Amino acid sequence: MERVYRQLLEEKVGKVRRNEPLAKHTTIKIGGPAPLFIEPADLSGLVTAVNILRAARVPWRAIGRGSNLLVDDAGVDGAVIKIGKGLSYLSFEDDRLRIGAGYPLVPLATTLSRKGYAGFEFTGGIPGSVGGAVYMNAGAHGSETKDLLLEARILFPDGTLKWLTKEELGFGYRTSALQKRQGICVEAVFKLEKGDAEAIWNDLQAYKEYRHRTQPYDEKCAGSIFRNPLPDHAGKLIEDHGLKGYAVGGAKISERHGNFIVNAGGATAQDVLDLIRFVQEKVKTRYGIDLQTEVEILRKSGDA
């Protein structure tokens, strides 16, 4: 690993650190170390880093802003690549928007709403980035990323870059083909449509106010823990069971929304996992519904 670390530094791919605590890079502030942690300076640095890791047979995975992510207390194997400022850009091309995967969603929604572009209001309260939105098909208030996306540029493990259409990305409810086929979204192209600027801005503010009122936006959490078992909603099933505020160690079900687990202080990943299993068992026993996690759980290879 030392040789790979030195090679990454020599190639000037961006910031490279060893044994980086991933708790510093997740919104729930939980997670053990990554032996190698890479923040590419740009697309070229990202491609070079992936090629170096491939040649050295070092396993890797990419993260964005660390929402919808729970990292095991023991950390992960290999390398973690953080898609951030080096891929945070946007440009307007007629009725299209080309944007880097590291661009955060909240500023994006604000920028587009002020310019009178409709459709992105739902992203105004999502604490993620464009790459994560494509990866998860992020959505809210009846809208999803796939509704606006035209195509996305993907970096595959063999170092090749390829544009994939919306259809090729295989979107579903909070899923995409990228969750089964390793690859990094490096940029995306969205369609733009003009609307009533004042109405768009008002909708954005209403969505943000709703999130602030009903979700623990100001607490350490990983976003929605469970996928909604449509037509039911995970949060309502949990709340109807009287589980709001229930805690295991430092992990607690939010008092504001049943589908959020917050780090109330000193929570470990194991606390969160134990609480997830407790909720799943209770909901299964009472409603006969198997809740599936939406939050992505990262562990060392071979760990259960």
Residue tagged active-site, from 153, 174, 211, 299: 174
For residue 231, give the 3-state DSSP assignment. Answer: coil
Active site residue 294: yes
Residue tagged active-site, from 20, 151, 294, 299: 294
Question: Which of 211, 252, 253, 271 shows the shortest CA–CA distance to 31?
Answer: 271
Contact indicator for 229, 291 with CB cutoff of 8 Å? yes
Residue tagged active-site, from 67, 129, 176, 224: 224
The Cα 135–Cα 81 span in angstroms is 15
Q: Beta-strand (E) ranges in the chain? A: 14-21, 33-40, 60-63, 69-71, 79-82, 90-93, 96-100, 139-140, 143-144, 149-155, 161-165, 184-191, 221-224, 247-248, 251-253, 260-263, 296-298
Give how far the C-alpha of residue 94 lies from the chain's centroid of Cα atoms, to the nearest Å: 29
Helices assigned H by DSSP within 16-93: 43-55
Q: Quickly tell me which residue has 């078992």 as its tokens.
A: 229
DSSP 83: -
Phi, psi for 149 (deg, rounded to 5): -75, 140
Question: Which of 16, 132, 130, 10 shows the shortest CA–CA distance to 80?
Answer: 16
Contact indicator for 135, 105 with CB cutoff of 8 Å? no
Query: Could you give the residue numbers annotated as active site?
Result: 174, 224, 294
